[in-house]
Amino acid sequence: MVAATIYPEAVRIVREHEAAGHVVAIVSGATKFVVRPLAARLGIRHMLYTRLEVEDGAFTGRVIEPICFEEGKIYWLQQFIEDQAIDLARSYFYTDSITDRPLLDLVGHPVAVNPDPLLYREAVRRSWPVRFFDPPPRPQIAAAPPA
């Protein structure tokens, strides 16, 4: 299911960054159950996501704070960049949501992709690049043979 949602342009951009020697990571508010299959499909090793609390092998129903959303993304990203010795001034961040503005403000190369209306206005106001990706092709479902 995840593969069907991946934009071909996103795959190309990931490959370009890898070819340039950049560390590529997914930073998402989703849990590992969404992020890991996406990362595997794209060949991305590094993932930051909302973590679910587990005790004695069972989910507790709680998340590990902070949630990887808005300012929480910055918390998890700071841990990651210290580990990887990443220079945010030379880094890129791609998003479609105004909720990621805190991260867009941190990087040297913010990019709005298929932005929501608030992000679009902010990107235009701040002269950030805005990219519009074509939706991935829909899988074709074979018609049943005539009876």
* Mean pLDDT across 23-52: 94
Q: Is 93 found in the same domain as 66?
A: no
Q: Identify whether the C-beta of residue 103 lies closer than 8 Å to the C-beta of residue 77.
A: yes
Q: Is residue 120 part of a domain?
A: yes
Domain residues for the domain of 46 are 1-86
Indicate whether 142 pLDDT > 70.
no
Distance of CA 23 to the CA centre of its chain: 13
Task: Note whether 59 and 102 are same-domain residues.
Answer: no
Given a cut of 80, is residue 144 above it in pLDDT?
no
Question: Same structural domain for residues 65 and 106?
Answer: no
pLDDT digits (tens, 9 = 90+) for 65-96: 999 998 899 999 999 999 999 999 999 999 99
Tell me how crowded residue 35 is: count the other CB atoms within 10 A of its CB.
21
For residue range 118-130, list pLDDT tens digits in order: 999 999 999 999 9
Q: What is the mean pLDDT of the chain?
A: 91
- Residue entry with tokens 């701040």: 126
For the chain, the domain total comes to 2
Note whether 101 and 56 are same-domain residues: no
The verdict on residue 112 lying in a domain is yes
If pLDDT is split at 50, 70 and 90, which confidence band does 139 have? Answer: low
Q: Are 112 and 128 in contact (CB under 8 A)?
A: yes
How much is the average pLDDT of 53-62? Answer: 92
* Residue where one domain finishes, among candidates 56, 86, 116: 86
Flag whether 51 is in a domain. Answer: yes
- pLDDT at position 5 is 80
Q: Are residues 41 and 106 in the same domain?
A: no
